Each structure stands twice: as C-alpha cells, then as structure tokens.
Amino acid sequence: MYRRNGRGRLLLLVFIALSIVVITLDFRQGEGGPLGRAKEISVAVVAPIQRGLTTIFRPVGNFFASVGELGSLRSDNAELKARLEAIEQEVREAEALKNDFAALSRLSELDEPWTSGDFVNAQVIGTSPSNYRWARFIDKGSEDGIRKNMAVVNADGLVGKVISVTRGDALVLLLIDPKAAAGARIENRRDTGKIQGNGEDQGLSLDLIGSNSEVFEADEVVTSGQDGVFPAGIPIGLVDRITGDVRRPDQQIVVEPWVDFTGLDYVRVLLDGPVVAAGERRSR
C-alpha cells in the first residue's frame, strides 16, 4: 500500500513538471502552436493545484508579514498606553483643582460673627509624627501672623487649635484628639460644658452639663467662648445620643461633629485669638 502511494506521488510530480515544461514551450512558441492542446490540458490540471497551494501558503505568508509588523504594533501600543496614562493624570489633576476650588469657595463665602476679625486661610499639607495622633500641618506660620492657641475652623465648623508654629507652617491639634477640648454649650441655652475628642470614629463627648438640664437628640452644640481660645458660637456638631446613669451629676452626651476630620483640605485660622500674655510680642 505504501509503495503505491509513493509511486502515485512520484507520477503526480512528474506530470506537474511536464505540464510546466509544456506550458513554457507553448508560451515561447506563441498562440495556436501544436502544443496548444497539451497546454490546455496542463493548465486544467495545474490550476486547481495552484489554487490549493495558494490557499495553504497565503495564511503562512500573512503570518510572517504580521510577525514583521509586530515590532511596529508594540511601539504603537506603548505610545497609546503612554498617552492614555497622561490623559488619566490630567483628569486626576483637573478633579483635584475642581475640589480645591470648591473648598476655597466655601471658605471664602464663610460669613459668620465669629469670623469677623482678622484671619488667614491655609492648606492642610501633612500629618504630624508627634505624640498627637490627630494633628495636621498647615502651610502658614508666624510670618502670616499665626501663633499658638489660635482657633482653626473650616466652612463646616470647629477644626481645632494651633499647638506649635514655625515661620512657614503650623501644627493644628484636631478637636477629635483625646487631648483636645473646648468650652461648649447647647445652642440657645445657658448651660455650658466641655467638648472633648475620643478619636476618629467615637464622636465627641460633651461633659459637665447638669443632669437637670434639658438636652435632646439633634440639639446643636456650639462653642461657649468661655475657654479663652475659641470665639463663641462656632458650630461643633449635633447631639447624637444621651447615655449614662441618670443619678450622675452630669449627663453623658455624645456629639456627632460637623467637620469631616479625615478629609480636611483648607482651613481658616482666626488671628484674633486669646489675650496675649505680658511681654509676648504678637506679629502680624
């Protein structure tokens, strides 16, 4: 069986070779030669074989052509990727500028009695590595008139106070820090107390409000102005819940702050702070 197959292949190759010779001779002789009939037979046999070979080898040729273009395609892909990354970076920068503009617009529109004095706007630029966990650096300092114990606010309310200053920057202790505190009261009521931080997710504690005082959930809490640091009336937050033993001399009041302390961007330092101690020079 294998010999016959081999012999058949050999005869086919011989016939193809003879057909090519006949076609070549006929073309050289010209049309109407004695080999015209042989040419027609040869063409009829060879043409299907040629089409089959073309069908087989054309994809191979296309493959190698694609391989040749692979380097160019990689280069184009890298260029497109770089352009896409550049566009994405521009979009991020545009979003940041949009957010900055919105924050500064809200701060510039702040028009409350407790901001009627001198102030300076500053940008939050970093977290403090000090012992205070909830403290932030701002990009303004003593050259801009800032000094220790000045109140810091934003468009939502009380942020904290300045605890250290250099010529070009200052450190602000946020109200949510356990070491921070401010005089506070329920708005439109006379009872005053002290607001204190408990960390980021625990809310603020309003203490020293008498147990006989009427306090309700959703009451607004503001600064009392009796601590010598923060002007009166700065919004702090809303009463979230009232807990504790009613037999205690003061109620345990949890306050949800207005300020988002995790998303601070721009703040305002109130330069008309506490009274300057004797012998201390206040620079503006």
Closest listed residue to residue 175, CA positions, set 196, 202, 146, 201: 196
pLDDT per position as a tens digit, 206-265: 987 776 778 889 999 999 998 889 999 999 999 998 876 555 656 788 999 999 999 899
The two tokens of residue 264 are 């601070």
pLDDT per position as a tens digit, 63-74: 666 666 667 777
Closest listed residue to residue 46, CA positions, set 16, 22, 74, 66: 16
The reported pLDDT for the residue numbered 10 is: 66
**Positions of the chain with pLDDT lower than 50, given as ranges:** 1-2, 274-284
The reported pLDDT for the residue numbered 15 is: 62
The CA angle 145-150-156, to the nearest 5 degrees, is: 110
Q: What letter represents residue 214's amino acid?
A: E
Instruction: Write down the CATH number for the domain with range 181-261.
Output: 2.40.10.350
The reported pLDDT for the residue numbered 276 is: 39
Provide the 3-class DSSP secondary structure of residue 48: helix
In the 8-state DSSP scheme, what is residue 203? -
The two tokens of residue 100 are 């900055």
Q: How far is CA 85 from the centre of its chain?
A: 15
Neighbouring-strand partners of residue 215: none
Q: Is the dihedral of CA 53, 57, 59, 61 positive or negative?
A: negative
In terms of C-beta distances under 8 Å and separation of at least 24 residues, what long-range contacts does 162-167 make, across chains too?
162/269, 163/132, 163/135, 165/141, 166/141, 166/142, 167/141, 167/142, 167/143
Question: What's the pTM?
Answer: 0.64
CB atoms within 10 A of CB 210: 13
Percent of the chain with pLDDT strictly greater than 90: 37
Give the residue carrying structure tokens 């009166």.
Answer: 232
Neighbouring-strand partners of residue 151: 161
**Sequence-distant (≥ 6) Cβ neighbours of residue 71 within 8 angstroms:** none
Query: Are the C-beta atoms of residues 250 and 211 closer than 8 Å to each other?
Result: yes
**Side-chain half-sphere CA neighbours of 125 within 13 A:** 12
**Sequence-distant (≥ 6) Cβ neighbours of residue 273 within 8 angstroms:** 147, 149, 150, 151, 229
Closest listed residue to residue 153, CA positions, set 128, 172, 140: 172
